[in-house]
Structure 1
């Protein structure tokens, strides 16, 4: 069975995207040549990624989903959705409960990329 092992975020304004994801999710994002390496947590389960300069036009802002949807595990959906908005993003789907799974919300970063957040119920320890 294939499973995700890496992700890429394409941004028109790479510095703005780096600042957004560092502030909202606490990721470490460091320059490496013509790309930025994203570390989502040393020694923790999950995958790392790359931040790249967008090679074409940005996604259509009216599209409900504009590409591959990445879901981030968060400890507080309320705090995270507030952080998204405080750092220039927007919440496109407000928090909704999914029975026996948790709380979900969908956000858009300042560059138009869509992502999902989940606060599991109960949160894994």
Structure 2
């Protein structure tokens, strides 16, 4: 994916197992928790392109959040704040080769940023 592409969508849920069953039955999504991310089942749409995660609902995370791939989280956060955004979470590692961050735009919408490469083993489910 390239800078500016939507790469991932997290959906906040209160019951991971129930949500996995619901979205799998409704849309045919393949849902599995990859090794090392057992509390974060990932979904993939039938097109094998669209995907995201089912994440625990919590304070500050009550609506789906899209993640945009960027070349540099630091540069993107600097540009975002120059244009009225507020950083909610600074660059944080996901793995040795990938990072994420969150900001809110001037209207209060939470937007996630993703930088790097994350290799997730395919599941047999």
**Could you tell me the TM-score, scaled by structure 2's length?**
0.46
**Could you tell me the TM-score, scaled by structure 1's length?**
0.46
